[in-house]
Structure 1
Amino acid sequence: MKAYWIAHVDVTDPAQYVLYTQSAPAVFAQYGGRLLARGGRSQAMEGRATPQRSVVIEFDSYAQAQACYQSREYQQAAGLRAGAARAEVIIVEGCEAVTG
């Protein structure tokens, strides 16, 4: 079953944040992660106000998604984001396609 990282990010220091965005995608790729959405146009339809950036990353399994987040390489990349953004990151397991 696929799994997804869903992140909502408000950038406070764009110059520092770019260091994270330049290093993290290589780590995602190491764990089979594929960026599906990365800061494009968005609108909150319900709930809290729209964050500056919404990010969705697909992994082949929940275990891969967790391993990526917990990896030394990703934690180093996430350290580059510290102080440059406020982020909420969740991992959610996908489901079978629903038809009709």
Structure 2
Amino acid sequence: MAAYAIGYATLRSTEWQKEYGAHMPALTAKHGGKLVAKSPPQAMEGAPALPETMVVIEFPSAEQAQAWYNDPEHTRLKALRQSGADFSMVLVGA
């Protein structure tokens, strides 16, 4: 069953994004992931507190998403991301 890693962030700086962007696509693909959305979110109902940006990555399974998140290559990229953004991520299944 497909699983979706949904990240949401408020940026504090953009200095980290160039290096992060150069490495994250290959790491995501290594675990069968595919970026399906990346943009500022828009409220459709209610008045939720919205982050500055959101990203949705589809994986073939929750196990592959967890393998991506726990990959040793991801450790450095997580630290880089956290150095310039307040970031949270959830995993949901289809």
C-alpha displacement of 1:75 = 1.6
RMSD: 1.5
Q: What is the match of residue 7 of structure 1?
A: 7
Quick one: distance in 2 between partners of 1:47 and 1:24?
Answer: 32
TM-score w.r.t. length of structure 1: 0.83
Deviations 1:22-53 (CA, angstroms, capped at 9, x unpaired): 221211010010000012x4312335322111
2:70 pairs with 1:75: no
Q: In 1, distance between residues paired with 2:29 and 2:58?
A: 10
Normalised to the residue count of structure 2, the TM-score between the two structures is: 0.88
Verify the 8 A CA contact 1:11 1:17 in the aligned structure 2.
no
Q: Which residue of 1 aligns with 2:26?
A: 26
| Structure possessing the higher radius of gyration over alpha carbons | 1
Give the ranges of 4+ consecutive aligned residues of structure 1 lying more than 4 Å apart after TM superposition.
Answer: none
The alpha carbon displacement at 1:80 in A equals 1.2
Cα offset, 1:10, TM superposition: 0.9
| Residue matched to 2:41 | 42
Structure 2: give runs of 5+ residues left out of the alignment. none
Gaps of 5+ in 1: 95-100
Distance 1:18 1:10, change over 3 A: farther
Count of matched residue positions in the alignment of Structure 1 and Structure 2: 93
